[in-house]
Structure 1
């Protein structure tokens, strides 16, 4: 049975959740897909160049992937080629059954929805990859709205654009302080802070540790998204 949230949750009416690392466990697929894309652009596996680029990918988990490739390759044509190769490789890994929900994620989303909150899922991936993940998990109809960077002007995180797009497109709340933003990376935290969200919660199921999340502005650090309903029950107006 889905447990009802108490009225103190009325302070938060819109919850913007990251996907990979927050609600979805992908087991390092980003690094695997990057290796495929980098090799197609002539970056040899095991080389110093590969390791330097991989370190940057790890450090910027949560950022729009095309932005990462623009930084790494310094040329728009190469960045687009790398991004296309990355998305194709990641999609193939998803199709092979290499992802799963974070334990308790679906139940947390359903509990929030049953309490009257609007939940939006966001990602740094392209739409085609986001849709592949949603299809693989059977989550197409789980939430009212899903957003990728292209749906919000193209910049992605750490900009606040996807959070603000969720605010504008759902009309779920009357002010940004009534938004909760949840993610596993410093970039998620920065986007939430820049959007003015009242709750910016980091989870420890993905890329970054508690120190990185806190340094980036997290108001809460959770073991996983499964803890989110309980946290929001304690958030007053």
Structure 2
């Protein structure tokens, strides 16, 4: 991280000083399975099953807001009213959210494995004096259980901001800006956000940061590592094209399969910064 005040404002030329990672689907939980399983189970307890696609659609939002967005989907709202005899109320959302938190505690432990290459990539970033930040749509109560599981595997970011810690979650820039301030970034242009959700990438662009979308291990594809590896190249490419399109539309400057592919992109961004480009 540079302390040279000449390298600020219009004269900023890099290098990258801070990388801010999402959690599920980006650093751990290949396929972003845990929250989806918890959402589906919470709705099943209410007698209103939802599909995986319905559970995944709002991914990246704060989890209570995520529930409300699921309930706002016309097909889900119709099934809810048919089963319950009335529209969903805030009391229903409270009950669903409490169930989600209870179930997700178990699912996070079940799906807490780091994505292959994560530790090596983090170590390489640290060797370049790059600070490691993180954001999540999980509340602090969930992260209090998940962070020790990640630490036991060797991953501990320098700073973690949850949706409980800020006034506004994604797609607003609050969480990534909190990281930039806490980690002492000299300029938002020195910050790179790595996220598998479109809303996370929108938040990066809103903050004036570089945005890198995760394809293979992320929510847009939503397959476990074993399921992804079982696909042939043609099938993988079909999934990639669809996911890449969604992430680019959300504002990604780059897309990569997984965190293991990050380092060449950091070097490319450093080159662009040196040339005077900005996000």
Fold in common (TM above 0.5): yes
Aligned counterparts of 1:65 and 1:231: Cα–Cα separation in 2: 30
Q: SS at 1:60's partner residue?
A: coil
Q: SS at 2:147's partner residue?
A: helix
Q: Which runs of 5+ in 1 are unaligned?
A: 1-8
Q: Which residue of 2 aligns with 1:78?
A: 92
Q: Which residue of 2 aligns with 1:3?
A: none
Q: Which residue of 1 aligns with 2:166?
A: 152
Aligned counterparts of 1:80 and 1:107: Cα–Cα separation in 2: 40
Aligned counterparts of 1:77 and 1:57: Cα–Cα separation in 2: 20
Instruction: Kindly report which structure 2 residues correspond to 1:1-237, keeping only aligned pairs within 5 A, or say none.
Output: 10-25=14-29, 27=31, 28-40=33-45, 42-45=46-49, 50-51=50-51, 55-73=53-71, 75-95=89-109, 97-138=110-151, 142-153=156-167, 155-171=168-184, 173-197=185-209, 199-204=210-215, 205-208=217-220, 209-235=243-269, 236=271, 237=273
Cα displacement (A) at 1:10:
4.2
- After superposition, the CA RMSD in angstroms is 2.1
Residues 33 and 89 in structure 1, CA contact (< 8 A), matched pair in contact too:
yes
Aligned counterparts of 2:89 and 2:188: Cα–Cα separation in 1: 36
Q: TM-score, normalised by structure 2?
A: 0.72
Q: CA 1:116–1:75 in structure 2 vs 1: closer, same or farther (change >3 Å)?
A: farther
Q: Which runs of 4+ in 1 moved over 6 A?
A: none
Q: CA 1:76–1:169 in structure 2 vs 1: closer, same or farther (change >3 Å)?
A: farther
Q: TM-score, normalised by structure 1?
A: 0.84
Q: Which runs of 5+ in 2 are unaligned?
A: 1-12, 72-87, 221-242, 274-279
